[in-house]
Amino acid sequence: MPAIPLRTALVLDAVASGATGLLAIVASGLLGWLLDLPPGLLLGAGLVLVPYVLFVIYTATRHPIPSGAVRTIVAANFLWAAASVLLLLSGWVAPNALGVAFVLAQAAVVALFGQLQVMALRQPLATA
């Protein structure tokens, strides 16, 4: 997988996380019904994404990009992906097949953002 510029990886993360968060906040009831997931869980996840997205945007707009902040974002991405999988394994929720696919797909995308950010950090002048 080719590395992309760090700022691009952060902006993509912010856009995708922002869209997911907005969807979860605005349509938690509908999503809950479609995915057989608790609407309160979806609403809470959407609300958690608001400060995350603001932090990612703030970080992406710094010159240079602070590598410590990016490492925090990477850790958050990998923790979110792991927590998503653990949620399914825990038995705390019982989503339908579409719900399982949704949780696993968003976990995979979040982990991908974390990996892209790690790769971008390793590039020379990654924070420039």
| Residue 128: per-residue pLDDT | 47
Give me the helices (H) in the chain, please: 6-26, 28-35, 39-60, 67-90, 97-121
For residue 42, with 0-12 CB atoms within 10 Å meaning exposed, 13-18 middle and 19 or more buried, which class applies? buried
The residue extents of the domains of the chain are 6-121
Q: How far is CA 91 from the centre of its chain?
A: 22
Q: In a structure prediction context, what are the per-residue pLDDT tens digits for the chain, which is 128 residues long?
A: 567 999 999 999 999 999 999 999 999 999 999 999 999 999 999 999 999 999 999 999 999 999 999 999 999 999 999 999 999 999 999 999 999 999 999 999 999 999 999 999 988 655 44
Residues 22 and 126 sit within 8 Å (Cβ to Cβ): no
The per-residue pLDDT for 3 is 72
21 neighbors 49 (Cβ within 8 angstroms)? yes
In the block, tokens 């608001």 appear at: 50
Under a CB-based contact definition with an 8 Å cutoff, are residues 9 and 112 in contact? Answer: no
pTM: 0.91
DSSP SS3 for 94: coil
Cα 31 to Cα 37: distance, rounded to the nearest angstrom: 8
Q: Is the dihedral of CA 39, 104, 85, 54 positive or negative?
A: negative
Query: What is the reported pLDDT for 6?
Result: 96
Residue 2 is predicted with a pLDDT of 61
C-alpha 21/C-alpha 44 separation (Å) is 9
